[in-house]
Amino acid sequence: MALEKITQVTGRGVTVAGDEIDTDRIIPARFMKCVTFDSMGEYLFYDVRKNEDGSDKKHPLNEERFQGASILLSGANFGCGSSREHAPQAIYRYGFRGIIAESYAEIFFGNCTTLGIPCFIATKEDIAKISAAVDADPSLEITLDVENEKIVFGDQSVTAVIRETAKKALVAGKWDMIGELKEAEAEIAAVAAKLPYMAK
Amino acid sequence: MGKSLFEKVWDAHTVRTLSNGQTQLLIGTHLLHEVTSPQAFGMLRDLDLKVAYPHRTFATVDHIVPTDSRVEPFADPLADAMINELRKNCAETGVTFFDMNTGKQGIVHVVGPEQGITQPGTTIACGDSHTSTHGAFGAIAFGIGTTQIRDLLATQTMALTQLKVRKVEVNGSLRPGVYAKDVILHIIRKLGVNGGTGFAYEYAGEVFENFSMEERMTVCNMSIEGGARVGYINPDEKTFEYLKGRPYSPKGEEWEAAVENWKSFASDPDCEYDDVVVIDAADIAPTVTWGINPAQAITIEESIPTVDSVKESEKAITAEALEYMKLEGGAPIKGTKVDVCFVGSCTNGRLSDFEEVAKYLKGHKVAPGVKAIAVPGSQIVDAICKEKGIDAIYREAGFEWREAGCSMCLAMNPDKLIGDQLSASSSNRNFKGRQGSPTGRTVLMSPVMVAAAAIRGEISDSREVFDIRETANA
């Protein structure tokens, strides 16, 4: 299965500020009553973005000037909580192609990488700097340079970290692992044969 | 040098190193539920892939099942579509499905152990972050996303990065009225909501050795709330005793061999940990959350923190939490009015949870205006509670006794908070909107503390409400 090699992602940014933004906040559980991911994008951050009558609340994603943004900026422990892939699916289907945060929850990070979303780790200060630049000029282009682990915005740049395994997978176009996992059928059977509980 | 259980299980299940440096790990036991799996089966169909080891995947339905009436079709057409999709997917692929008519349905993390599917020295994964529960048996159990469910269905393996191991030792004896739930809330409070990122937690020490299997499950269940994807306890005689005679446990001469094999996975006494944390059991008191993540917790005797009292990095989230929870910093948490009380969930929905509460509930009544519901974690828990008359004690006290499911833990079924109701809950997450209302408020606590809140109509110290005292020789 040939996948796109994700060496860099470019787009405009928007900041959803705060630490500990959990997966229930990203996609409230009641919207997971579905058998496909197709409509997930509509419900991204729903309860902080919409009033109960469906009208808009004050939220960066509702601001005209940030429409079309594809790089999401946030705080520490982004995506904590549930393992629901509905969360990164909502982020992706809304139109985001990269995330910058101080840190990520483990399962969320893995789910994003599997969808080909680079998750960059930057310092609080650098995120604040990029956020300020985006706020001053929402049309500013941000580039997440996966290969060189840096974030370029306007004429500035900061170094950022992307976990080595994720970087390798994205750059090689092997972020969806199914092809590589399938190749090892014989080895899998050999390991399974040594484990009594795997017997039929 | 010796190895930890985590390393031994990891090594025994390693298939190979992948091109990105991750490990291709065999996952011997795959558990499924209706919310995170339908898309995975869809992906398999799109790629024309088959389920490689159907006899190692077990499914049940828990998140969306109504707990008041199980008559099908369900009132909610979306929920009805989800259960039928799972039925179809299991039937087509040969995956075992503990459906509602089997008498074995329940929350996936209650069903696995109950059936003897959860065993020491094994790897387990499920599209649910509370899969860490199964670590109570000395298994390495991972919560995973839907694409990884697809990977598991197609290959019985997935790509993982090896975790470091932190030993969390709790020594001494717990004071009366202090439960497993208080222990894990205390640990999360001390180590932080993301303190466990990159780690597996090995829970060790006298407290966990003395715990029953169900208490161990409560602790391992909430590992992820402290950021640790995996939490486990070394298997011992209690583990083997629990598993003996269960439907999927080894039988006859295979039993002895299995026990010997399971024992070999326990951490070696001379193994080195990446980190060790030691906690004194005597420092733990009945604990409740006051905020919007499980680390925002205090003992029942403490006051709610003020923005000024916390360190700089926590000021913003503290202010956010106080505003959302409509609580005042500096005020005691005790005495906060509650609207809804919930006993249940994969954290505290097992037989011993209901038994312990029933011990104290007799002769008490739920306060006027409080809605109290008890939701057994499985049909089997429900049946045993009914056999023992436990459900009657709850009903007599004014609780509604419901049918098995996840219910109000995440409110994907009709059990939800309304408006800004405040819920005293034995579940695992107090995130904004978690219990179904975008402004609903959740206070996490042990089941006995939930019962105390239900009776008083406000957050209370269960030791006072039920006269639970330190014994003279304690």
Phi and psi, residue B50, nearest 5°: -105, 165
CB contact under 8 A, B429 and A196: no
Whether residue B473 has pLDDT greater than 80: no
Mutate to test the interface with B, among A31, A49, A80 (most CBs of B within 10 A): A80
Mutate: best of A34, A82, A119, partner B, most B CBs <10 A: A82
Q: Summarize the confidence of residues A123-145 as an average pLDDT.
A: 98
DSSP string, B390-458: HHHHHHHHTPEE--SS-GGGTT-SS----TT-EEEESSS---TTTTSSTT-EEEE--HHHHHHHHHHTB
Burial of B184 (0-12, 13-18, 19+ CB in 10 A): buried
| Helices vs strands, H then E, count in chain A | 8, 7
Quick one: closest CA in A to B414, which residue? A30
| pLDDT tens readout for residues B181-213 | 999 999 999 999 999 999 999 999 999 999 999
For the beta carbon of residue B87, count every other beta carbon within 10 angstroms.
Answer: 15
Confidence of residue B469 (pLDDT cuts 50, 70, 90): confident
Q: Check if the beta carbon of residue A116 is closer than 8 Å to that of residue A169.
A: no
Q: What is the DSSP string of A99-124?
A: EEES-B-HHHHHHHHHTT--EEE--H
Average pLDDT (B441-469) is 97
Write a three-state SS string for B123-180.
EEEECCHHHHHHHHHCCEEEECCHHHHHHHHHHCEEEECCCEEEEEEEECCCCCCCCH
What letter represents residue A102's amino acid? E
CB atoms within 10 A of CB B278: 11
- B351-361 and B213-221 helices, crossing angle to 10°: 100
Best to test chain B binding among A5, A83, A108, A163 (most B CBs inside 10 Å): A83
- The ipTM is 0.97
| Contacts of range A149-157, beta carbons closer than 8 Å, 24 or more positions apart | A149/A120, A151/A100, A151/A120, A151/A122, A151/A126, A153/A13, A156/A129
Q: How far is B439 from chain A (nearest CA, A)?
A: 9
pLDDT for the residue B254: 96
- Could you tell me which residues are beta bridge partners of residue B14? B25
- Quick check: A191 and B198 CB within 8 A? no
Share of chain B above pLDDT 70, in %: 99
Task: Let me know how many helices (H) and strands (E) chain B has, helices first.
Answer: 17, 19
Place of tokens 């049946």: B383
pLDDT above 60 for A1: no
* Interchain contact, A184 vs B155, CB within 8 Å: yes
User: Distance, in angstroms, between B431 CA and closest chain A CA?
Assistant: 7
Is B424 exposed, middle or buried (CB count within 10 Å of its CB: 0-12, 13-18, 19+)?
Answer: buried
Q: Is residue B474's pLDDT more than 80?
A: no
Q: Do B161 and A165 touch (CB under 8 A)?
A: yes
Backbone angles phi, psi at B371, to 5 degrees: -95, 120
Strands (E), B281-377: 287-289, 297-299, 340-343, 371-374
| Contact residues on chain B for A52, CB-CB shorter than 8 A | 438
How confident is residue B471, by pLDDT bands cut at 50, 70 and 90? low
Task: Report d(CA B463, CA B468) in Å as an integer.
Answer: 4
Selecting from A114, A181, A191 the residue whose C-beta is nearest the C-beta of B145 gives: A114
Tokens 């299997």, located at residue: B213
Q: How does A121-146 read in b/e, with b if 16+ C-beta sit within 10 Å?
A: bbeeebbebbbebbeeebeeebbbbb
What pLDDT was estimated at residue B472?
47
Identify the residue whose tokens are 């399962």. Answer: A107
pLDDT digits 0-9 by tens, A150-171: 999 999 999 999 999 999 999 9
* B117: closest chain A residue by CA: A197
Q: Which residues of chain A does B197 touch, with a Cβ-Cβ cutoff of 8 Å?
A: 77, 103, 105-106
At A150, list the tokens. Answer: 């840096």
In this complex, the residue of B14, B143, B193 whose CB is nearest that of residue A20 is B193
Check B35 against A114: CB less than 8 A apart.
Answer: no
Q: How confident is the model at residue B470 (pLDDT cuts 50, 70, 90)?
A: confident
Show residues of chain B in contact with A197, CB under 8 Å. 28-29, 119, 122, 258
Of the candidates B85, B224, B434, the beta carbon closest to that of A24 is on B434
Q: What is the pLDDT of residues A12-47, one digit of tens each?
A: 999 999 999 999 999 999 999 999 999 999 999 999
Written as six digits, the tokens of A54 are 């469906």
Distances (CA, A) of B37 to B102, B148, B283, B415: 20, 10, 42, 22
Nearest to A198 among B56, B151, B438 (CB): B56
Which of A163, A30, A145 lies closest to A106 in space, CA to CA? A163
Please indicate, yes or no, whether the overall pTM of this predicted structure exceeds 0.90: yes
Chain A closest-CA separation from residue B286 CA (Å): 23
User: Alpha helices of chain A — where are they, by DSSP H?
Assistant: 23-26, 46-49, 86-94, 106-114, 124-136, 164-171, 178-182, 185-193
Q: How many CB pairs under 8 A join A and B?
A: 214
Q: Write down the pLDDT at residue B468.
A: 94
- Judge whether B428 and B181 are in contact, CB under 8 Å: no
pLDDT one-digit tens code per residue, B249-277:
999 999 999 999 999 999 999 999 999 99
The residues, ordered by sequence, that sit 6+ positions from A79 with a Cβ below 8 Å of its Cβ are A21, A22, A23, A26, A87, A88, A104, A105, A107, A108, A109, A112
- In B258-339 the beta strands, taken as DSSP E runs, fall at 275-280, 287-289, 297-299
Instruction: Kindly report the average pLDDT of chain A as a whole number.
Output: 97
Rounded Cα–Cα distance for residues B391 and B18 (Å): 52
Residue A156 bridge partners (DSSP): A153
Between the two ends of chain A, the Cα-to-Cα distance in Å is 31
Q: Identify whether the C-beta of residue B408 lies closer than 8 Å to the C-beta of residue B137.
A: no
Decide: helix, strand or coil at residue A25. Answer: helix
Determine, for residues B122 and A83 on separate chains, whether the beta-carbon distance falls below 8 Å: no
Give which of B10, B26, B256 to mutate to test A binding, by max A Cβ within 10 Å: B26
Question: B289 pairs with which residues across the strands?
Answer: B297
Residues of B in contact with A178 (CB under 8 A): 47, 49, 150-151, 154-155
The number of beta carbons lying within 10 Å of the beta carbon of residue B390 is 23
Q: Looking at residue A190, what DSSP letter applies?
A: H
Look-up of token digits 């099908």: B72
Residue to mutate among B18, B19, B20, with most A CBs inside 10 A, is B20
Of B16, B154, B156, the CB nearest to A178: B154
